[in-house]
Amino acid sequence: SAMKITCVTVGKIKEKYLTEAIREYEKRLSRYCRLEIVELADEKTPDGAGAAEEAAIRDREGERILKAIKEDAYVIALAIEGKMLDSVELSRKIEALGTGGVSHIVFVIGGSLGLSPAVMKRADYALSFSKMTFPHQLMRVILLEQIYRSFRIMKNEPYHK
C-alpha cells in the first residue's frame, strides 16, 4: 500500500495563489502517496514580544503539533539548523524509510517563531531547506514540491532540474 505522508503545519494560508499551488501538488502527489495536510491554529505574537513570551508561544504551538502526531510515525521536522539535503538525497531518504518498513512520515512546519524543543526532541530527523527563512505559508508549497520531486526521482520519471 502507498506510503502515508502527513504535513503538520501551523497557521492558515490566506493567499489564493499559494492555496492553488498546494491544491495542484496535492493532486499530483495523489498518484504516489496518501497525503494529509493538518493545519493547526497559530498563536498571535504581540509586537515587541520578549524571548520568554516567544518561547511560551512556541511551546503552546508545540503541544498542538505533538497532539497531531501519531505514535508510530517517523517525524521529519523542518528546521534551519537541520541537515541540508539535495532533491536526490531527500528522495533516497524517503525511499529508504519505506524499504525499512516506515509506512507513515510526518513532516512538521512550525509557525513564524519556529519549533519548540519538545517537537525537536520528538523529531526523528531535522531537515533544512535553506539557511534563509521563508514564510511558513510558502514553505508548505516548497515542501510539497520537493516531496513530489522525490517520488518522481524514485520512479525514474523526468523532473525539471
pLDDT in tens, 30-55: 999 999 999 999 998 888 889 999 99
Read off the pLDDT band of 147 (50, 70, 90).
very high
- Whether 95 shows a pLDDT value over 90: the answer reads yes
Task: Say what the pTM is.
Answer: 0.94
pLDDT in tens, 113-135: 999 999 999 999 999 988 877 88
Residue 82: C-alpha distances to residues 2, 20, 78, 117, 124 (Å): 27, 28, 7, 13, 11
pLDDT at residue 127, as a whole number? 97
pLDDT in tens, 72-82: 999 999 998 99
pLDDT at residue 159, as a whole number? 67
pLDDT in tens, 5-32: 999 999 999 899 999 999 999 999 999 9
pLDDT at residue 160, as a whole number? 64
The pairs formed by 57-61 with CB atoms below 8 angstroms and a separation of 24 or more are 57/111, 57/113, 58/110, 58/111, 58/113, 58/114, 58/115, 58/116, 59/116, 59/118, 61/10, 61/110, 61/111, 61/113, 61/116
